[in-house]
Amino acid sequence: MNIYKIQTDYSYKNISAKDEVTINQFKDFKGQTLAGMWKVPEFQLLEDVTDVKSEKNSEQTKKRDFDARSYGNMLFIKNEFDSLFNQMNIELLPIIIESGEPVFSFLNVLDIVEAIDFSNLDYQQSMEMLKSNNIKFIKAHIGELQIFRDKKLITFYYCTEDFKTLIEVNGIKGLEFEQVGAAT
């Protein structure tokens, strides 16, 4: 079974947190439920925030009509697609992106599993495996999951072909899927 890392498609505009407090809270999200403590965070298009002229010019040439973004250890999708994830272990929490963008949902993926097989590898071998996009995933730990995060590499979102197909069939724009390994 092929495994993909979910990434941002950089042909679309990027987003940025309105303040550092917003972005810092996401580093603590490690698969726990957030519904009871959720405060709707606000984001802006990068071109509206950056003071770097070349970055602003670059952002202005990008497509605006994205449906999803992978931003650091966060994954956002337009809330009109929320029903696609009803059968998955995902909390859908609202976020706001300014500049007239529609309301999005943060996909709080609650499935955090020991998915990457680091057994019998030293540090250097582990790094080589990760860099080569020949990551060995443990199929028994992934089971029937379509999207998950790894316990050791918590900042990345990984998915199976089924999830990738779900996104593509529904025409969700703004994400890329990089094949990074296989589950055996």
In the beta sheet, which residues pair with residue 148?
158
Distance CA(70)–CA(29), nearest Å, equals: 15
Q: Splitting the chain (184 residues) into consecutive groups of 10 residues, what average pLDDT does each group show? A: 96 82 69 83 82 86 90 87 95 82 85 94 94 95 96 92 98 97 95
Give me the pLDDT at residue 35, please.
85
What single letter denotes the amino acid at residue 89?
N
- CA–CA distance, 6 with 144 (Å, rounded to integer): 18
pLDDT at residue number 91: 94
Question: What does the pLDDT read at residue 30?
Answer: 77
Please report the pLDDT score of residue 154 as a whole number.
87
| Token pair 């080569």: residue | 132
Q: Which amino acid is at 105?
A: S
> What's the pLDDT at 171?
97
**pLDDT for 47:** 83
Residue 17: predicted pLDDT: 80
Predicted confidence at residue 89, as pLDDT, reads: 94
Q: Which residues are CB-neighbours of 6 under 8 A, at least 6 positions away?
A: 70, 75, 147, 156, 157, 158, 159, 175, 176, 177
**Alpha-carbon gap, residue 9 to 144, rounded angstroms:** 26
**Backbone phi, then psi, for 137, in 5-degree steps?**
-105, 155
Rounded Cα–Cα distance for residues 182 and 184 (Å): 6
Edge-to-edge strand list for the sheet holding 104-109:
15-17, 42-45, 90-97, 104-109, 74-78, 68-71
Predicted pLDDT of residue 90: 95
